[in-house]
Structure 1
Amino acid sequence: MSDVHSKSVRSKNMKAIASHDTAPELIVRRLLYNNGYRYRVAPTYIEGKPDIWLKKRKTAIFINGCFWHAHECEKFRWPKTNTDFWKRKLLKNKERDERNIKVLLSQKVRVLIIWECAVSGKKKLTEHTLLMLITVWFQSVEQYAEITSDGLRVFDGRE
């Protein structure tokens, strides 16, 4: 199956995709701020450049797009064209994410990943539920967790 767009149009479309200040990021940032959580946005001095940094809690929050980080959910599908390129690129993104998380955990930084599917799409969580899950994790002693459209998943750091 060939692409429906020319290379120049496809290139223009791909360049227009934002890498920061995305809709899911803005939703999470507004939710945190409106509930008294103060943070830094995308500090470059923290390993992996988290989308949100909560210094008091020594916590890095990443808001990951399901496509760009190859999340296994209903929002992700492998592209049907240029499949070798996309497979290499997306798997490399996943490997980089895993390395960054390991480094942060070794530095005793807590890591929370909020997936795009939890914030947008058919199965998104309500803002109340999302805030509750974030708050529950903040109050726990767990170092690493993810929030998806299915809820909160805690990892022991060795996975």
Structure 2
Amino acid sequence: MADVHSAEIRSKNMRAIGTRDTAIERRIASLLGDLGMEFCVQDASLPGRPDFVLAQFNAVIFTHGCFWHKHQCPLFKLPATRTGFWLKKIDANVARDWRDRLALSELGWRVLVVWECALRGRQKLSDRALQARLEEWVCAAGSNSEIDPGGIHLIGNDSAG
């Protein structure tokens, strides 16, 4: 199926997509705040500019959009047009995510990735369930992990996704 927009309109639409203070980030901030956890946002001094830094727990949290970070879930669908362009762009994001996780781990930080599908879509977690997973990971000093609709899972630094 061809794109319904011209290249110029599509480019304008894509440029308008925000990278800060997204709905997902606001929701995670609210859940962390309700838990009484102190955090700072978008710390540019750390690799990957984590969305949330919980310094007292030596932990960082990234909120990843399933499309932009190639999560294997129903929210990821490769566009039918300009497929090569999109694959190159998204694969570069995945490679950068891996490098950032590795660099943060080498600096002694624990990394949590919260996937968009955990917050929206048919299989999303309730706020209560998501908050429990966040608290469990932060307070239990868990290893690098990710949260998706299936719950919380370990992720390694030796694979890109």
Post-superposition Cα deviations, 1:99-143, rounded to whole Å, max 9, x if no partner, equal 110111111101000000001111110000001111111232322
- The yes-or-no answer on 1:70 pairing with 2:53 is no
Return 5+ residue gaps in structure 2 as ranges.
Answer: none
Report the CA distance shift for 1:157/1:83 in structure 2 as closer, same or farther (over 3 A): closer
- The yes-or-no answer on 1:39 pairing with 2:39 is yes
Post-superposition Cα deviations, 1:48-92, rounded to whole Å, max 9, x if no partner, equal 100001111111100000000011001001110000100011011
- The yes-or-no answer on 1:140 pairing with 2:140 is yes
Distance apart, 1:2 and its partner CA: 2.1
- Counterpart CA distance in 2 for 1:37 and 1:139 is 10
What SS is found at the alignment partner of 2:105? helix
- Counterpart CA distance in 2 for 1:70 and 1:36 is 32
Other-structure match for 2:130: 130
* TM-score calculated relative to the size of structure 1: 0.95
Other-structure match for 1:119: 119
The share of aligned pairs that are identical, in percent, is: 38
- Counterpart CA distance in 2 for 1:110 and 1:44 is 17
| Residues 52, 60 of structure 1: 8 Å contact kept | yes
**Where does 1:10-159 land on structure 2 (aligned, <5 Å)?**
10-155=10-155, 157-159=157-159
- Counterpart CA distance in 2 for 1:18 and 1:26 is 13
| Residues 142, 156 of structure 1: 8 Å contact kept | no
Count how many residue pairs are aligned between Structure 1 and Structure 2: 159
- Counterpart CA distance in 1 for 2:59 and 2:78 is 31
* TM-score calculated relative to the size of structure 2: 0.94
